[in-house]
Structures are given as structure tokens and as C-alpha cells.
Structure 1
């Protein structure tokens, strides 16, 4: 598998990106992108298959959930200055004390729920307007 870069993620790798519509709200208004989660490291809050809204940021407060690029792979974890932690205790933390091999992609905003997505009629109107 080819390693991703921050540019691939933030500017969209055309093969892996598509446009989608989500309802405007106080939460989603700050979203820069929506990603599908693979894995259960952040369950029960964020589960395999969930779509999550991310705000692209270069720094995070300790305890914030963020998306990170670790050795070319995307991970969603809780940020602490000494490591990236999963919610599941059986998963080990990612040591970031050396500050190499990882980059912050952005801050987790929310899990996208069904009520945040347009219904079929709204989606048809939006797509027609494009």
C-alpha cells in the first residue's frame, strides 16, 4: 500500500474522494472533510463504518480526538503529548515523544448521523444544481 501524505488527505486524492452534502449546523459548519472509519479503536463513541467530520488543524489540545498520519497510515486517536491513545485499553498507544513519523491531520468534530444527510429529494435538487 502506498503511503499517504498530508497533501493527499487535505487536498483530496481524486481516486479516493467524492463530494457529499451534509446539513449545516453548529457542528458541521466547521468540518473540512468527512472520512469513513475503518476499525474499532475508538469505540464505543466512534465505530467501524462510521462517517466522521474532521476540521483540518495543525495543533490539538491534550485529550482531543484527532485524525493523525502515522507512518503513512491514517489513525483516529485521542491526543496526548506523550502518545496517541485508543479508547480500547487492549490497543497500545502510539508513542509520539520523538515527534517523528506522525502528523496531525485535524480535529474530530462529530460522527455523521442519518439526520445530518439530505434525503433523496434534497439530494436530487442539490445534484441538479451542481
Structure 2
């Protein structure tokens, strides 16, 4: 509604239907899924760090795309690292599921990289990044 520049009855009804469907989904699946997310102050820190770095990384990706258009950039790399290298991958306590979920989102929020897999059994995190040196 904000980006359309106008508000109409149809848009209001669509918002109401989407919110109702989201609530029903949460009630039917989210509450009965078995994973409860408990947040504390420190749980959301990775998101704020990722948002602060977003403009800089967006400019870097723009440069990489320009190099790719000129034929001078590769397709990126896939790296496997130990989960102990990432504070969000090995949290403890009641907020551990929420900390893992927020950390995973923050790590994938960067425009030049994202997490492919988090294998807690083997203790590895596989990421893909556009920049070769990372």
C-alpha cells in the first residue's frame, strides 16, 4: 500500500486476508512444530551488524558485477568452514534455536554471500560467496 501511493478497499481486504492466512499458518504449523524461539537482547545483534554492512557490501557486489560484465570476474566460490568459526552456529541455552535462526539469516543477508548448509552433526558451515578471496 505504501509503494502504490494509494489506499483502496481491495488492498485493505488483501492485507486482511494475507494477515489472516499468516496467523492461521502460525497457529497450525508454527505453534505445533515443536521449536520454540526465545529471544533476548543479544539474539538480534547479528541482524543489526548485517544491516550496517549492507551498503558497503552492496557497492562491492556492484563492482563485482561490473567486472563480470567486462569478463574479468569469476563465478564465486564455495567454502566449507568449521561451525566454531561462527558464534551463531554453536549457541547454548534457551535462546539457542533463535540465535541460530537469526545468525543464519544475518549471514545470508549479505549481498555477496549466503549460507548453503549448516551441518551441526559434522560441525561445518558451507557458504557461497561472489568474492574469490573470502
TM-score of the two chains, using structure 2 as the length reference? 0.23
Larger radius of gyration: 2
TM-score of the two chains, using structure 1 as the length reference? 0.24
Between structures 1 and 2, the one with greater strand share: 1
Between structures 1 and 2, the one with greater helix share: 2
